[in-house]
Amino acid sequence: MPPRVLVVGVSGPSSSGKSTLTRLMRDVLPRATTTPPRRALILYEDDFYKPEVDIPVVDGVQDWDCPEAIDYAGLRAAVAHVRACGTVSAAVEEQSKEDRNELGKPPLETAAARALATRILGDGAGAVLEETLVCLVDGFLLFNDPELVKLLDVKLLLRAPYAKLKQRREARNGYATIEGFWVDPPGYFDDIVWPGYVRAHRDLFVGGDMDGPLAPAAVDAGIQVPPELDMTMAGLLEWALAAVIAALA
């Protein structure tokens, strides 16, 4: 019988630290009672892009950063499978390529992350988590599909200053895709990535201010943002683990 499953959505703009945070959480959460034992597992939204021929084109350039590029039905089915079975389906695990994308030197070493997690979780929460499989869903457009939002027990939205996001994205060599490898053309962040993220998320913030407070409807939907705009990875991990503990209470 599968363990209790807690589905945690970790969203935010490109290069905001989502994948680093989810991988750290996967490494530090207590083991769940599955066979074989797993602390937590990750579903990557980027494993659910539509085929390259179906990616929208803007001014002659593919737009990988819009909701229309994502196979939400496939992602919803993957989340439902984890919730029902306590495992990632064989088909999804076989096609996943996101762990092949290097994130560079982590801003928080695993040993330090585990020490922080031990302090934050404590004996009580740790015991509950040992009987809970945490399914981390990592994606920059998680909150643009209402049916997917309903499947998320915890909804975290990372943020970072525009200049830092741009610098991080433009420092990347490229991305492994299911069908090949993608390298951003010049100006891609300013022309495609950031404008698309704003269009898809402006309704979540008061006055469309991406650095401002969440709109009441977003708060009512359970979306949470970090208490500060530019937090360290240690701060983000502490905040995210506290949200997991609150969801288990």
* Catalytic residue IDs: 46
Contact 189, 166 (CB under 8 A): yes
How far, CA to CA in Å, does 124 sit from each of 119, 130, 222?
11, 10, 24
What contacts 216, CB < 8 A, 6 or more positions away?
A: none
- Residue of 210, 235, 216, 176 lying closest to 12 (CA atoms): 210
Other CB atoms within 10 A of residue 99 CB: 13
